[in-house]
Amino acid sequence: MGTSSYIQIFRNISFNLDKLKCRDDLIEYFRKNPKERFDVQFILGRLGKKENANLSFYFKNPMEVPKNRIILYRTLQLLPGILLSLIIFYPPAFFWLIISLVFNMWLQGRLKKYNG
């Protein structure tokens, strides 16, 4: 939605002075108010293209991970590495590694579907 509006500005040139003045006022407002600009960008990003799927976006928005589940998610993140190192000493850990990977993929897919 935000990207398409931006492209429309360049494709459909307006010679209406009122529209141009309104657009210039909006540009100046968002230039002077970065917090509001970021809030609007965040909303438009959630509605429009999924270009916000990069690492820096998630550092700026820690609310994406529920605080009460962060320990669970960090444990699930470390579990495959721990199990991979245990395979050397305990070969049946391979079975648990596969289960852990499948569960992590399932959970990630479910969270992606839930969060959009």
What's the pLDDT tens digit per position in 47-88? 655 554 554 555 555 555 566 677 888 888 899 999 999 998
pLDDT of residue 1: 44
User: Considering just the CA atoms, what is the radius of gyration of the chain in Å?
Assistant: 22
- Comparing C-alpha atoms, which of 105, 104, 84 is closest to residue 95? 84
Mean of pLDDT values over 98-114: 86
Residue 98 scores a pLDDT above 90: yes
Question: What is the rounded CA–CA span in Å between residue 78 and residue 9?
Answer: 47
Distance CA 101, CA 105 (A): 6
Buried b (16+ CB within 10 A) or exposed e, 8-42: eeeeeeeeeeeeeeeeeeeeeeeeeeeeeeeeeee
Q: What is the pLDDT of residues 14-52, one digit of tens each?
A: 788 888 888 888 888 888 988 888 887 777 666 655 554
Spatial CB neighbours of 36, under 8 Å, sequence gap ≥ 6: 29, 30
